[in-house]
Amino acid sequence: MDVQSIAMTVNGREYEFSVGTRFGQVPPEETLVETLRRRLELTGAKQSCSEGACGCCTVILNGDAVPSCMMLTVDADGADILTIEGLEDPATGQLDPIQQAFIDAAAFQCGYCTPGIIMALKALLNKNPAPTEKEVDEALSGNYCRCVSHYHVFDAVRDLIGAGKEGE
């Protein structure tokens, strides 16, 4: 039987996995969030509902925000993936402006939803650096916060977009 292997880039690093049911192989039914968390120890993407409803597991895949619990790792073959761990500048350790804005606005409580929300915003701002409030709302429509941090999230986004505009 042919051994299927898959490759992907995560946070700029290339990974290759063999697919199968033997020890160390990626089973065909393994989801991307499981691979990220268990094999690559990238635990920023949180697994909560596991059915695409909460957004806690959001990562950016080929430029789009996706719930990584809804994607099989085998289907991510060839993908370029960015997780919350990849946002910090590796050379300087400086946080992404979105991360900094969340800290400045205290836009989280337990923080469980935060990586997913930040990645959804990152995908939006990469495509549209000056979104309207409605566009931000739409981009975050798949992300749920069980605490009461949503108002602070919007404060953080407002600060971020306002700061970007001032610098234009």
Which residue, 65, 36, 41, 44, is CA-closest to 142? Answer: 65
Nearer to ligand FES, 3 or 148 (CB): 148
CB of 98 to ligand FES, least distance (A): 15
For residue 3, the minimal CB distance to ligand FES (Å) is 29
Min. distance of Cβ 165 from ligand FES in angstroms? 27
Which residues of this chain interact with ligand FES, rule CB under 6 A? 47-50, 52-57, 67, 69, 108-113, 145-147, 149
77's tokens: 């073959």
Helix, strand, or coil here: 51? coil
- Residue pair 42/82 in contact by the 8 Å Cβ criterion: no
Closer by beta carbon to ligand FES, 52 or else 131: 52
**Ordered DSSP codes for 80-135:** EEE-GGGSS-TTT-PPPHHHHHHHHTT--SS-SSHHHHHHHHHHHHHH-SS--HHH
- The CA distance from 104 to 91, in Å, is 22
Distance CA 69, CA 59 (A): 10
User: Closest approach of Cβ 125 to ligand FES, in Å?
Assistant: 20
Q: How far apart are the first and last CA of the chain?
A: 58
Smallest distance, ligand FES to C-beta of residue 71, A: 10
* Residue closer to ligand FES (CB basis): 7 or 49: 49
Is the Cβ of residue 150 or residue 158 nearer to ligand FES in the bound state? Answer: 150
Closer Cβ to ligand FES, 119 or 161, answer by number = 119
